[in-house]
A and B are shown apart, each in its own frame.
Chain A
């Protein structure tokens, strides 16, 4: 057991180091969401004047978005790393060791979580730096960490599964616009009940990303809104259950060792 934990730690460490050594993959995950946050919160500040808008600070409202965008980058990076391992044969190298498939998966996801932890801490710090409200108070910070990490974990599972299906880093990167579409057609920029167009509101309502954004947003805007938090954790749990199972099954197929 200790040996397996040790191996999981080493796989996670390698995954973490590798990501940190690719600024081209890591830096956009930090900079791009901040750019959009800055532009959106400045451009859409007028929206806080719409009757029923839940806060008078658009930056407070929009701060949930970088967490989700960061999660999207976690998804892409974990997926691309795994796809590259498949392409280069590195996965075969690991498959020839006594390490089991679940332990390998745990190691890879562990590395992604370490990156997600840094991203989360960074976004929280940015929130405080720009003077956003944080309605949940000090007790909400651990909850924010927990929810953000659970969301990133769910996204990593999607990334790992997708990588195992598409098999190449290039194909994985080309999935980026798909995740972008999910993000833009959610309640990212406007509360769902204030979305005027029926078709858009319907799309945002069936889009699971809306609930993840609203869970994080609730801590900034409302405080402990257990319904929003429950939905965010619930949707994350469903994503994890579905995509972790699919990833484990795909990994068994990919690691067709006897």
Chain B
């Protein structure tokens, strides 16, 4: 079997199994679906009056403003959940079985990533439906919408690589906080509630250098039908993919070396 065929064969099998597990297990599917909705409801519902504060100039209203954040947050946490799945599989010994059976071990990683993207698409579909039902004002055309979804999936891929790197090194669900907490911190150190220029001094400084800030801002731009900061957003996520991708691949080598 060629290396390429091996990769896709393994990836398909692992992706199927992982997606099947997700959709048939309420304990996995419910938190993944409900948490983004919860944040969307809490932020867009509870804080909508903020758009009347001086200097808040987002044209599509507060619901759409928060949707941009929640969409990216859901995508990022989808990547974290993928790490949880890998850790659980290795803890239970299933990961070792995969390592023994797979002709191409990077295909295992590929399978988890594909499954993560599928799951993210499911969550995003639900979020879009709820957002539109909540009266969200979307000005984007079809290519902009596709770009928005592409950006979210790209972020999911990057964070999935981050979580996979940790999961493959620790091979235990005990490493869950290590996967989750930095993602939580980095997301909440972006302009979550108001545009960056309305943040108070220190968070504004942190947000300026936070690589996820351009992603959140680009998602809001796309919803408003503009392309501001789009290249920077993709470049930032691309850098994260490169960095965390290396971490995930070396993590896989680490898992291989440990037997």
A: residues with CB less than 8 A from B are 35-36, 38-51, 177, 181, 184-185, 188-190, 194-197, 199-200, 204
Contacts and interface: CB of A to CB of B under 8 A. Distances in A.
B45 A200 contact: yes
Interface residues of B, number: 31
Interface of B: 31, 35, 38-39, 41-42, 45-50, 52-56, 185, 188-189, 191-194, 198-204
A126 to B, nearest CB: 16
A46 B54 contact: yes
A231 B50 CA distance: 27
A176 B44 CA distance: 22
A197 B50 contact: no
A204 B192 CA distance: 21
A204 B203 CA distance: 28
Contacts of A41: 200
Interface SS majority for chain A: helix
A46 B201 CA distance: 12
B178 to A, nearest CB: 12
A46 B56 contact: yes
A46 B48 contact: no
Contact of A49 (B54, B191, B193, B199): B54
A195 B49 contact: yes
A190 B41 contact: no
Nearest to A50: B53
Given A43-B193, A44-B193, A197 B48 contact: yes
A46 B185 contact: no
A46 B50 CA distance: 8
Contacts of A189: 46-47
A236 B54 CA distance: 37
A197 B46 contact: yes
B35 to A, nearest CB: 8
A78 B96 CA distance: 38
B199 A43 contact: yes
Contacts of B47: 44, 47, 189-190
B186 to A, nearest CB: 11
Nearest to A204: B46
A39 B46 CA distance: 17
Contact of A199 (B42, B45, B50): B45
Contacts of B185: 35
A207 to B, nearest CB: 11
15 contacts: A35-B188, A43-B191, A43-B194, A46-B56, A49-B53, A49-B54, A185-B41, A188-B46, A190-B50, A194-B49, A195-B46, A195-B49, A200-B41, A200-B46, A200-B48
Nearest to A48: B53
Given A185-B42, A199-B45, A43 B203 contact: yes
B181 to A, nearest CB: 9
Contacts of A184: 38-39, 42, 46
Nearest to B50: A47
B46 A190 contact: yes
A183 to B, nearest CB: 9
Contact of B200 (A45, A177, A188): A45
Contacts of B35: 177
A40 to B, nearest CB: 8
Nearest to B27: A174
Contacts of B202: 42
A69 B186 CA distance: 21
B182 to A, nearest CB: 12
A43 B192 contact: yes
Contacts of B56: 46
Given A49-B54, A50-B49, A197-B46, 19 more contacts: A35-B185, A39-B189, A40-B193, A43-B193, A44-B193, A45-B198, A46-B55, A46-B194, A47-B53, A48-B53, A184-B42, A184-B46, A190-B49, A195-B46, A196-B48, A197-B48, A200-B41, A200-B45, A200-B46
Contacts of B41: 185, 200
Given A39-B192, A49-B53, A181 B38 contact: yes
Candidate in B31, B47, B191, B199 with the most chain A CB atoms within 10 angstroms: B47
A44 B194 contact: yes
